[in-house]
Amino acid sequence: MSIEVKIPAVGESISSGIVSVWHKKSGDRVKAGEPLFTLETDKVSTEIVAEKSGLLTTNVPEGQEVKIGEVVATIDDITTAPVAQSDSPDAKNKAADTKSIPADKTSGNADVLSPAVRRIVDEENIDPQEIKGSGKGGRLTKGDVLAGAQNHASHSPTGTRAADRGESAAASEDGRFTRKKMSPLRRKIAAQLVMAQQTAAILTTFNECDMSEVQALRAKSQEAFTKKNGVKLGFMSFFIKATVEALKAVPSINGRIEGDDFIQNHFYDIGIAVGTERGLVVPVVREADKKTFAQLEHDIAEYASRARDGKIKIEDLQGGTFTISNGGVYGSLLGTPILNPPQSGILGMHAIQQRPVVRDGKIEIRPMMYLALSYDHRAVDGKEAVTFLVRVKECIEDPKKLPLDF
């Protein structure tokens, strides 16, 4: 008996997606719960798993756009291997070829690859055996396979891998550029950014904060915190706590405009911007005001891991009231973040840099960070924006003003 593999509903506003990569090929045997393919939509990438064990037959190629509810494969729960049922020369040759494959080239090798590495290997259609691993015990890291994919691309005919995935890619006659379709996620990001610029009166105010006290407190508490909670104490949890305190002081930033109405939120669901290979996603830390530092760090680590592995869920991205973006992890010294509609504010963190500052009439070298608050001037006045940013600065420079629980 066979069952149909249909594209599931992954969100109210999502009507279609792209089968970006098949993790199992047509004719493979699959087990219940194993990932079959990755569905890429304009919001998230989701791994679709097998509902039962059996023989997989795929109906659509990689790169094809599919509608919600469309049948993309079938799984037949036959108990006898197809090779054993057939005496045809092709079947025998296929069986012989399978037996001749070295053990380290079989699908069992996927067990030693992390989900992120396996995803890149599948999408870029490269052989992991051809790449030298720099990880522990020679294991492949994301950096290894990304470098391998880039090297593979430079030695391959233009557009070959794109064609293999069903994408339309066309090289210019002189080979100076390649044209291909943007991914649904990238198209959505582009549309959201343009919409934010066109519909909101975006203004940005800046300040800077001295990170000395937070760094000292973090260094002093790190060992005990990590031992107790199984996760490191980072800077983001301090900024989430400081943001909640600032939103309580300036409630208008924790709201949004809807038509002719202003919606004031009385809860604090903070979005944390996470950069991935496919683009920026913003998972939401729920009820941040009620969570401990340890709970915040666990949430941040889990979301970041799931986002980069393409396992983030649509519900993880919905309902945020305010966003924090940390460009400092990439070395950004100063920038103006763009609003995440329909929110009224976004806080931009930047790189920590040793700079000369004046303290008590003396010049001292301190670890300083520039802060940027972009806000919707339709809902938030300049005085409120400045007050918010000053409150964040005060909480970071004097962490005792935060509800410390470690």
The set of catalytic residues is: 377, 381
Checking 35-41 for CB contacts under 8 A at 24+ apart, the result is 36/5, 36/73, 37/62, 37/72, 37/73, 38/119, 38/310, 39/7, 39/10, 39/66, 40/183, 40/184, 40/185, 40/278, 41/10, 41/11, 41/14, 41/16, 41/17, 41/184, 41/185, 41/314
As a whole number of angstroms, the distance between CA 38 and CA 311 comes to 9
What six digits make up the tokens of 89?
């020369």
Residue with tokens 């669901």: 269
- Bridge partners of 322, per DSSP, are 270
What six digits make up the tokens of 334?
């100063």
CA dihedral 45, 295, 274, 340 (to 10 degrees): 90
As a whole number of angstroms, the distance between CA 94 and CA 96 comes to 5
Q: What are phi and psi of 375, to 5 degrees?
A: -145, 160
As a whole number of angstroms, the distance between CA 150 and CA 156 comes to 10
As a whole number of angstroms, the distance between CA 177 and CA 60 comes to 29
Please, what is the end-to-end C-alpha distance for the chain in angstroms? 56
Residue 98 CB coordination number (10 Å): 10
- Bridge partners of 270, per DSSP, are 285, 322
As a whole number of angstroms, the distance between CA 164 and CA 61 comes to 9
**Separation in Å, CA 392 to CA 41, 252, 278, 400:** 35, 15, 31, 13
